[in-house]
Amino acid sequence: MCGIVGYVGEKEALPIILKALKRIEYRGYDSCGVLVQNQGKMMGHKEVGAIDCLISSLSESGYEGKIAIGHSRWATHGAPTEINAHPHFDCNGEIAVVHNGIIENYQSIKEGVLSDCIFKSETDTEVIPHLINLSLKRKLSPTELYSGELNAMQIKEAVKEALSYLRGSYAILVAVKGFDGLVAARKESPLILGVGDREFFFGF
Ligand code: GLU
């Protein structure tokens, strides 16, 4: 089984995420990726192959931030390539998603409600950030949408609506540019929340 990890707190998030990915490495995976969020900047990196490659590529990255997500992928839809590795993004590159599981109806979503979107990957996962973006656009005025200050409730509601389109299994972590938090959700795939002293850990 592949892995999903996330951190929100007061510590540097990247070392925590890399250590967590290393810990679940024994399960097997074909590619991996991380995203660090810091005051409206999203910095990500993906690798085909070992977590150690990710660690050495990022050793001098300067990716600092207190919020991060990470993923080790076991491909179900799309070859094990860098483009297909997680996280996946919406068209604007502002909504990032890591996902464990399988979205069974992703093809009909792509051809239906997301027929205007340009997809970069072959994965089932990529419909999720695009659907969240669609829900945000439907729910918010353009001024709210582009203010760069979306609040937790607005994002949570958009994620909820996006998930209502999905058939299949998922554990997801969602990072949104400018939002100081993560949204997590699961259905049929496991996801665990650890609550520390002013910090939260997500994993499976
Ligand atoms: N179905 C997704 C993919 O192929 C997620 C696979 C996984 O759980 O690692 O990218």
Beta strands in the chain (DSSP E): 3-8, 31-38, 41-48, 67-73, 88-89, 95-103, 168-176, 183-187, 192-195, 200-203
Specify which residues 38 forms β-bridges with.
41
Tell me if 170 sits within 8 A of 101, measured CB to CB: yes
Is the pLDDT assigned to residue 68 strictly greater than 70? yes
* Ligand 1 center from residue 76 Cα (angstroms): 5
CA of 80 to the centre of ligand 1 (A): 10
- What is the CA(123)–ligand 1 centre distance, in A? 7
Domain that holds residue 175: 3-203
Going by pLDDT thresholds of 50, 70 and 90, the confidence category of residue 39 is confident
Percent of the chain with pLDDT strictly greater than 90: 90
Query: Residue 1's pLDDT band (boundaries 50, 70, 90)?
Result: low
Q: DSSP state, 188?
A: B
Binning pLDDT at 50, 70 and 90, where does residue 169 land?
A: very high
Q: How many domains does the chain have?
A: 1
Q: How far apart, in whole angstroms, are the C-alpha atoms of residue 135 and residue 161?
A: 6
% the chain with pLDDT above 70: 99
**Burial letters for 117-135: b for 16+ Cβ neighbours within 10 Å, e otherwise?**
beeebebbbbbbbbbbbbb
State how far the Cα of 185 lies from the Cα of 191, in Å rounded to an integer.
Answer: 8
CATH number at residue 92: 3.60.20.10
Q: What is residue 136's three-state secondary structure? A: helix
pLDDT at 159 over 90: yes
Using a 6 Å cutoff on CB, does residue 154 contact ligand 1?
Answer: no
Q: Return the structure tokens found at 83.
A: 């483009």
Which residue is closest in CA terms to ligand 1's atom 8? 100
∠ CA 189-200-17, rounded to 5°:
75
Rounded mean pLDDT, 74-93: 97
3-state class (DSSP) for residue 182? coil
List pLDDT tens digits, range 118-146. Answer: 999 999 999 999 999 999 999 888 788 77
Mean pLDDT of 74-95: 97
